[in-house]
Amino acid sequence: MQTNRLAHEKSPYLLRHAYNPVDWYPWGNEAFERARSEDKPIFLSIGYSTCHWCHVMEHESFEDPAIASLLNQHFIPIKVDREERPDVDRVYMLFVQATTGSGGWPMSVFLTPELEPFFGGTYFPPESRYGLPGFGFVLQRIAEAWREQREEIVASSRKMLEGLREQLKPEAPAAALGNESFERGFQFFRRAFDPVNGGFGGAPKFPQPSILRFLLREYARTQNLEALDMALDTLRAMAAGSICDHLGGGFHRYSIDEAWLLPHFEKMLYDQAQLARVYLEAFQLTRETLFTRVAREILDYVLRDMTGPEGEFFSAEDADSADPDQPEVSREGAYYLWRREEIESLLGPEDAERFCQAYGVTPEGNLVHDPTGEFVGKNVLYAAGETEGLEPLRALLLEARLARPRPLRDDKIVTAWNGLMISAFALGARALGETQYLEAARRAAAFALKRLRAADGSLIRCWRAGEASVAAFSEDYSCLVQGLLDLYETEFEPGYLEAAVNLTEKQLELFEDTSAGGLFSAPETASELLLRLKDDFDGAEPSSNSVTALNLSRLAQLARRPDFAQAAERIHAAFAAPLESAPGQLPELLSALAFHNASQQIVISGERGAPDTKALLQVVNSKFLPFAAVMLGDAEHWPRLGQATAYVCRNFTCLEPTTSVEKLAALLEY
């Protein structure tokens, strides 16, 4: 079968399109030069491997010879994996959102040969439907407009870009950030909170772990019970809903409805990492066993299904897979859905009745939100009743499910997401005392420091099949540094702290805006980008600026680097205006600011690995201490009272040291 240029790429998403009749190019100079030499517009298609509607548009349009002919004749088609090139994705998503009022994937953008966008959208059907114009019609009209109105198109595109550049100019500095910033953030989320179903806003509903982490910290900071209740109610609701995989562990991407009952079935590594952390933090705070069970299930799922031979973590699992009833047809959610009679045949009538009552399974199917009729007679699993004691039945169904055709797994290794997962496993090791989680964090860190670094010490973005591709972005540095710091505070191996310092220095060198503050997402060397953007939104993934601000404040204490504290303050100052006007867009940065302002240190002066040192650390690790830097001290600077000794310091003043685990526990209470 004939292939196009994407056959030479490493991204699973790009490779998926290698057999399309479309003459795809990867993002790069070869495509740009051809567009300029032939004076053709570029059709830029951006998506990712586990995107359901990306698959739909591929099947409907990019596999269609007639549409492929239009694309090949009139355009230079370029395909981009947004997970590999988030910098390209952000620039053109900004244009699509500005011109259409919304965005998403697949993203479809038409560019001049100078890469300037002039028309864009998301999914287009092959023929007009859903209120959308047919893709073939769109291609014909744009090709005609380019021939007849080229100058007007170019002028309009440049005017739009100038408008976007104007919007991106730094806002006037706001007043210094104080406690009112946290209160504004809390009130914003209070207004958005769904008191019936948990979560924030309506359908579709996303987990939003950055918001939950902020609310837990707001409770720790102020004892605001409403903040705590919003976070815990949301965590409980998600754990009960079908967005949670009750058989295999882990969470699906989001819920199509407001009650967490109809998931979009893809599973993303960054969701597992962030949700594992927030469930572990909720357990540290409340000791509620539900939270530790869910956290363990997430981490065990990642170990079982998303971990490579060297300890690296894969990116995602698809929403679509072959339908067990019709293997030649791929359907969304096919791997996860059940008919009542299937469960009865596997469990027997009595156990099946118990299970179906507990998990809401009905003969007619329980998917009430089914506009296309695709899920008739099928069931998702959600906690509709008492689920305790059903572990053996869940195990039987999981075993049967493992025999089904699995969803595609995107096995590329993304540096940022591996950093997030290292953090989750490190916290799992601390909070749960699980050595297997510590070993998982160690192996992943070793992989990252060996495979995801270039010869000059800089990071790379992705790795797959033995090859690295694309220089790293700011988020890759911030998330990996965070993972290394969390691992350092778990076992106090100096090499992790040293690597975190070196990578942070490199990150500031490559990405810091030394005039206006904050970090750009891409390095200055990315000359083909029309706009150099700063990540200013904590969404599905936390903003690089938010994570870096916290890293810098932690490193200022752990590595005794006051210059890093100053760098953190520059980030806070750069985003003071958006935090004042729209606090809901940066909850992770609010959490970083709370840490920076708190100035708390816990020093255990003892021999690493000694029983008395471990006993004191066990007390520390059992607590939710979001504003504390935890250090292992030496006897010269932190005198020992005959054995391992704990120092708790706040606002540059240390309380009386203690060797008692009971007294230490009391000192750590809020």
The highest-level CATH class for domain 600-667 is alpha beta
Instruction: State yes or no: pLDDT of 174 exceeds 70.
Output: no
Residues 178-198 have a mean pLDDT of 94
One-letter identity of residue 526: A
Does 204 sit behind a cis peptide bond, omega within 30 degrees of 0 on the bond before it? Answer: yes
Q: How far apart are CA 185 and CA 177, in angstroms?
A: 12
Confidence of residue 565 (pLDDT cuts 50, 70, 90): very high
Cβ atoms of 657 and 641 within 8 Å: the answer is yes
Q: How far apart are CA 626 and CA 629, in angstroms?
A: 9
* Segments of the chain assigned to CATH 1.50.10.10: 182-317+411-598
Strands (E), 596-661: 600-605, 628-633, 645-650, 653-654
Instruction: State yes or no: pLDDT of 527 exceeds 90.
Output: no
Instruction: State yes or no: pLDDT of 270 exceeds 80.
Output: yes
Confidence of residue 329 (pLDDT cuts 50, 70, 90): confident
pLDDT of residue 370: 72
pLDDT of residue 294: 98
Question: Which residue has tokens 């699980």?
Answer: 434
The rounded percent of the chain whose pLDDT value lies above 90 is 90
CATH topology of domain 182-317+411-598: Glycosyltransferase (1.50.10)
Distances in Å between the Cα of 410 and the Cα atoms of 16, 49, 251, 468, 522 are: 11, 7, 16, 15, 24
Radius of gyration of the chain (CA): 26
Confidence of residue 664 (pLDDT cuts 50, 70, 90): very high
For 223-251, what is each residue's pLDDT tens digit? 999 999 999 999 999 999 999 999 999 99
Cβ atoms of 126 and 134 within 8 Å: the answer is yes
Question: How large is the angle between the packed helices 269-286 and 225-240, nearest 10 degrees?
Answer: 130
Question: b/e per residue, 305-326, with b = 16+ CB within 10 A?
Answer: bbbeeebbbbbbbbbbbbbbee
Question: Which residue has tokens 């310092």?
Answer: 501
pLDDT of residue 156: 94
Mean pLDDT of the chain: 95
pLDDT of residue 368: 75
Instruction: State yes or no: pLDDT of 175 exceeds 70.
Output: no
pLDDT of residue 670: 61
Q: How far apart are CA 568 and CA 551, in angstroms?
A: 8
Instruction: State yes or no: pLDDT of 113 exceeds 90.
Output: yes
For 354-392, what is each residue's pLDDT tens digit? 999 999 999 999 987 776 677 889 999 999 999 999 999
Specify the long-range contacts of residues 64-69, CB closer than 8 Å, at least 24 apart: 64/21, 64/126, 65/21, 66/136, 67/126, 67/135, 67/136, 67/139, 68/20, 68/21, 68/22, 68/23, 69/21
3-state SS assignment for residue 328: strand
The closest alpha carbon to 418, from 452, 392, 385, 390, belongs to 452
> What pTM was computed for the model?
0.96
End-to-end CA distance of the chain: 66
One-letter identity of residue 524: E
Instruction: State yes or no: pLDDT of 554 exceeds 80.
Output: yes
Q: How far apart are CA 280 and CA 295, in angstroms?
A: 6
* Residue 61 CB contacts under 8 Å (≥ 6 apart), including other chains: 67, 124, 126, 135, 136
One-letter identity of residue 567: A
pLDDT of residue 528: 86
Cβ atoms of 200 and 208 within 8 Å: the answer is yes
* Residue 633 CB contacts under 8 Å (≥ 6 apart), including other chains: 603, 604, 605, 606, 647
Give the residue ranges of DSSP H helices in 168-268: 179-192, 209-222, 225-240
| Beta-bridge mates of residue 109 | 44, 120
Instruction: State yes or no: pLDDT of 171 exceeds 80.
Output: no
Question: How large is the angle between the packed helices 269-286 and 209-222, nearest 10 degrees?
Answer: 20
pLDDT of residue 59: 95
Statement: 5-167 belongs to CATH 3.10.180.10:
no
Residues 305-333 have a mean pLDDT of 92
Work out the number of other CB atoms within 10 angstroms of the CB of residue 448.
Answer: 26
For 473-490, what is each residue's pLDDT tens digit? 999 999 999 999 999 999
Give the residue ranges of DSSP H helices in 58-102: 65-74, 86-100
Please return the burial class of 212, using the count of CB atoms within 10 Å of its CB with bins 0-12, 13-18 and 19+: buried
pLDDT of residue 98: 94
Q: How far apart are CA 670 and CA 666, in angstroms?
A: 9
For 70-94, what is each residue's pLDDT tens digit? 999 999 999 999 999 999 999 999 9
For 275-290, what is each residue's pLDDT tens digit? 999 999 999 999 999 9
pLDDT of residue 371: 65
Residues 440-466 have a mean pLDDT of 96
- Of 169 and 233, which is predicted with more confidence? 233
Helix/strand number for the chain, H first, E second: 25, 19
For 595-654, what is each residue's pLDDT tens digit? 999 989 999 999 999 999 999 999 999 999 999 999 999 999 999 999 999 999 988 889
Residues 539-560 have a mean pLDDT of 97
- Reading the block at residue 234, the tokens are 């949301």
Residues 127-134 have a mean pLDDT of 88
pLDDT of residue 172: 65
Pair type for strands 267-268 and 316-317: antiparallel
Instruction: State yes or no: pLDDT of 173 exceeds 70.
Output: no
Q: How far apart are CA 272 and CA 296, in angstroms?
A: 11
- Reading the block at residue 304, the tokens are 């079982």
Instruction: State yes or no: pLDDT of 513 exceeds 90.
Output: yes
Cβ atoms of 444 and 425 within 8 Å: the answer is yes
Distances in Å between the Cα of 52 and the Cα atoms of 49, 59, 244, 317, 571 are: 8, 11, 19, 11, 36
Residues 500-525 have a mean pLDDT of 95
DSSP string, 212-227: HHHHHHHHHHH--HHH
Chain center to CA of 77: 28
Residues 324-350 have a mean pLDDT of 93
What's the DSSP call for residue 79?
E
